[in-house]
Amino acid sequence: MEKPTKIAAPRGKLGVLLPGMGAVATTFMAGVELVRTKKALPVGSLTQMATIRLGKRTEGRSPKIKDFVKLARLEDMVFGGWDIFPDSSYEAAAKAGVLDANHLALVKTFLSKIKPMSAAFDQEYVKMLSGKNVKKGKTKYDIALQVKDDIARFKKKHGCSRMVMLWCGSTEVFMKQHEVHATPDSFEAAMKENHPAIAPSMLYAWAAITSGIAYGNGAPNLTVDVPALRQLAQEHKVPIAGKDFKTGQTLLKTVLAPAFKARMLGLNGWFSTNILGNRDGEVLEDPGSFKTKEESKLGALDFILQPHLYPDLYKKIFHKVRINYYPPRGDNKEGWDNIDIFGWLGYPMQIKVDFLCRDSILAAPIVLDLVLFLDLAQRAGMRGIQEWLSFYFKSPMTAPELYPEHDLFIQLMKLKNTLRWMMGEDLITHLGQEYYD
C-alpha cells in the first residue's frame, strides 16, 4: 500500500458505536467522560499517554502520540450502541460493578442519557443470555437493514462527520468459515435465507462496512474474519481489525513467551486458569462460547515459539487454558499461570504467575485506542485488515497467507513504525551503527 499523502483532519464529531453495552463498554464511556472532565487519568492508553521517538536518539524528539498524529479529541466523541437489555448505560455500569460509587456518581447524568438501541440477537449464538430489547424481522437481512437505519439515524441526530463501530458484545458460539462467507453476494443471499452460518455479530459488521464505517472486533467471534466481509471492507474503503482484546493473561503470555524464546529456554507446559464472576464469565460457561475463547487464547504460544523451527525446545508443550465462572469475584478476575520451563542441559524450572486483575479496567483503554486509531486509519485512506493494530488483540487478523505476530514488543514496534510511516518520518530499525561511525 502507498503511504498516505494527506490525512484528513479530524473535524467534527466522531460517533462511537458499540454493539454490546456491558461492563467493558460502560467502563470505557465512563472513563472517557472522567478524563475529558479532568477527573481521572487515561492510564493504559497509548493514544493519550505514550510518546513516540522520532529521528536519531541524539535528536531528543519524543512527542506524545496524540500530538504527533492527528487523532480525534475526546471532547468530540459521542456514544451509542445496542444491547439486548434495555438498561441505560448508567444502570448497566452499576450492575457491572466495575466502577466505585464515587466514579459512578460523577458520570451518572452522562451515562443515564446513553440508552441502547434494540439488538440484532439470536440466543442460538449466545446460549446463556436472553433479553427483550431485540429486533424483530423476517430474515437476517431485514435485521441487518434495521441496524443500517440505526446507524444513519444516530449519525444524523448527533451530526457526526465520522463513525467507528467496535464490538463489545458477548462471545458467540464457535463458528468455522462456511462457503456462504465466500463472496459479498453469497453472504447477502445467506442473510436473506436465514442461514445458520450468519451470526448476529456479522449483521452489525455488514451494516457498518456497507455504511462506510470501520469495524473492530473485541471478542473472539469469527465475524469479519471471512472473505465476504474482508472484500466489502476493501470495496467500501473501510478499515477492519480484530480480534479479542488482549488484556490480562494473554498480555502476560505474549511478554513472557518471547523472553523464553529470546534466551532459547525450553518449555514443557503452560497451564492457565482463571476465575471470574462477571456476565462475560457466565457467557463463557457455555461450552460453545468457551470454545471460541479457548481457540483465541491458545494460538499465541505456537506462533511465538515456532516449535517447527525449535523442536528440541518447544515440540512437546502441554498448553491448557481454563476459565471458571465464580460470581463472588465479579469483574475482578484472577488468572493463574503455572509455567514449566527448562534450561541448560535440560534442568527443569517453574514460574508461577498470579494476576489479580480487573478485566474491564484493562479493556477500556484498548477500546479507546482502537476507536481513535481506526478513525485515523480511515482518514488516511487505509482499508481492509489493519495488522498494525495486532498489539491490541489476542488473535490478530492478518492476510490469509500470513501468520499473525503475537510478540507484544514486535507488535508495538510495528504500531509505532506505522505511525512514523503515515507521517513521513524515518522508520526506526534499532540498528544504531551510525552513532559509532
Ligand X SMILES: NC(=O)c1ccc[n+]([C@@H]2O[C@H](COP(=O)([O-])OP(=O)(O)OC[C@H]3O[C@@H](n4cnc5c(N)ncnc54)[C@H](O)[C@@H]3O)[C@@H](O)[C@H]2O)c1
Provide the binding-site residues for ligand X, judged by CB under 6 A: 19-25, 82-85, 96, 119-121, 126, 129, 131, 168-171, 200, 218-219, 244-245, 247-248, 278-280, 283, 359-360, 362-363
- Smallest separation, CB 403 to ligand X (Å): 21
Give the residue with the Cβ less far from ligand X, 71 or 276: 276
Cα 259 → chain centroid: 24
Beta carbon nearer to ligand X, 34 or 251:
251
- Output the smallest distance, CB 247 to ligand X, in A: 4
Strand blocks (E) in 177-252: 214-217, 239-242
Question: Which residues, in sequence order, are bridge partners of residue 239?
Answer: 384
Q: Residue number with the shortest CB distance to ligand X?
A: 22
At position 157, the amino acid (one-letter code) is K
Show Cβ contacts of residue 219 under 8 Å, excluding neighbours closer than 6 positions. Answer: 20, 167, 168, 169, 170, 171, 172, 201, 243, 244, 292
| Whole-angstrom distance, CA of residue 391 vs CA of residue 261 | 19
Coil, strand or helix at 351:
strand
Residue 23 and residue 280 in contact, taking contact as beta carbons nearer than 8 Å: yes
CB closer to ligand X, 106 vs 129: 129
Q: How far is the CB of 404 from ligand X (least distance, A)?
A: 16
Nearest CA-CA partner of 142 in 186, 177, 183, 193: 193
Residue with Cβ nearer ligand X (244 or 294)? 244
* Residue (244 or 407) nearer to ligand X, CB: 244
**Cβ-based nearer residue to ligand X, 370 or 422:** 370
Report the candidate in 162, 267, 225, 201 with the shortest Cα–Cα distance to residue 400.
225
Could you tell me the smallest distance in angstroms from the CB atom of residue 401 to ligand X? 26
> Closest approach of Cβ 394 to ligand X, in Å?
7
| Nearest distance, CB of residue 84 and ligand X, angstroms | 4
